[in-house]
Chain A
Amino acid sequence: MKTQDLTKTTHPVIRFLINNAVPILFIVLVAFAIPLSGFSGEYLFREMVTRVSRNSFLVLSLLIPVIAGMGMNFGIVLGAMAGEIGLIFITDWEIVGMPGLLLAMIISTPIAALLGYFAGKILNKAKGREMATGLMLGFFMNGVYQLVVLYSMGKIIPIGNNNILLPRGFGIRNAINLEGVRQVLDNLLSFDIFGIGIPIANFIAIGLLCLFIVWFRRTKLGQDMRTVGQSMEVARASGIDVEKTRLISIVISTILACYGQIIFLQNIGTMNTYNSHEQVGTFAIAALLIGGASVARATIPNVFVGVILFHMVFVVSPRAGKELIGQAQLGEHFRVFVSYGIIAISLALYAWRKQMEKQNLRRQAQAINREALKIQQGSTIGGKES
């Protein structure tokens, strides 16, 4: 097969092309789509800056469970819910500005930790099916969330603010105005480049989280997690409490996702009370996967590459599709098709490359074996002759 020969090639350019097939595919696509969409460079740049600053934190929260071998944590939805509950409270109490944002984080941390603990316990019972279970857990908790927010807030949990309470006296409205904390983090430290505000504070938070992850990997706990991720049997044999380690990784991930959602929503400025969290998992995971991560391995660069590429396609393709086909409604379908299609293709490319690498290794191993065998045979034959 021709394709297999390609991966064997030692030519550096071709090698580079193959190793970076997905980003290259994306760049080609985007290069076509940008002029078609007719967006100005300024608009695109601004859009990318906001999207990286608001989404990266959430995507980063996925990394730690991957280290522990638990795959993509669909359970970050739970963290997002915790963050939203924190935001509901500060909106009710009318705490505004940076203090409000920090207070929301403080309130939601124990909730997130509790939910994370719960999720971790369940995922420990569903080893090998963590992703499917996490997904279902998200659906399940969505029901609980509705029950709490729509039926017990205002009745059991006191809520006094008429702007978020439904007129019937209980339940939170479908949309909450986060005017009080809207973009406070973004605007805390921002300076303009060519008239585009760069939210420095946001990037500092993201940077700190990256440092935390790098540091965490080197701690004893981080090392244990890696061992657990590679093989639970080995970890158990070397005296690591596997269950506890996995649990901790999920708790950390949930808490981080909770902060991520708060950062995300302070930028968005309004909260869709019952749906904002629903797709958090799917989108964050899609971005991470496009960035080159796999279920077993994900790095910090994957996060940023992924967020940029994923969102670039999301921004550009609806307009490009519209201009290409000429009908607005088709543009929207085109966007969904291209966005998800490209995810599927890139995942396929990554998986395929990995498979090829494996095959190459095997072939090399076989070749070495054969050589060894030949030498052995040669020597024995030679031995006989002598």
Chain B
Amino acid sequence: MLDQQLVNALSLGCVYALFALGFTLIFGVLGVINLSHGAIFMVGAYAAATFMRVFSLPLWMGLLGAFLFSGLFGLIIDVLVLKPLRKRNAPHLIPMIATIGVAIILNNGVQAIFGAENLRFPAGTIPDDALEFAGIHVTVLELGIVMVSFVLMGVLMLALKRTQMGRALRAIAESPKAAYLVGVNVEGLFYLTSFIAAGLGGLSGVLIGLYSNALFPLMGQPMLEKGIAVIILGGMGDIRGAMLAGLFLGFAEVLSVAYIGSSMRDAVAFGLLFLVLLVRPKGLFGSLQERKV
């Protein structure tokens, strides 16, 4: 049983990490806890499901569509909401509150359009059957989620570490003023970050939506709660930290179900998280300074 549970934990951890990647990116670069990320996640899932049903598209087109569509939403949110707040030098919790408003709009807008009931991706989008190795069951989708999340983490980390744009993003994260001074198009990179972060949110919406196969307007809300835990535990905007924290949460949940009792799962997981914070007050990889706004 333990081997199966470890596989379960890995895939659940990757589910959380996948959601958290875009979330932590926007947190790191813009310094905003974007509480509409859950709604964007949901929008991505609905967009892909709709595209795929209406135009009978294959999954990869659905994923691409979701990425572009939610990315576009992220961009619009940035232009209409976050940018004016940056311009006005709003105190640092204010953008977060604005994104709550955005989430309310998106959640209820989707409900008004699609109704409240559960939708799903077209049957057969991805093989449902599990593969079996030595008594361990995994599905293609789980393998896909694990792979996608590790690949995305690798790509993002490499991009941030090695490319000029990545350096620029890190510069913005530390000090937009310093970034301006070296000639970084800070606004442009804010847009790009919002686009990519939201796109990743939408992408994770599709994959996780396929996993649960029950889409509903508020499906992003529970993810958002876990996602916040993950990105903060990982440390401000740290990609590697988000991945590790996602896995941490996944393992904490699965192992507490396996060995302590499922009714104590969240208490154990969050209790551990609490303790980790007491030991590492800046998260797992919190060497970065919090930007003083």
A binds B: no
List residues of A whose CB falls within 8 A of some B CB. none
List residues of B whose CB falls within 8 A of some A CB. none
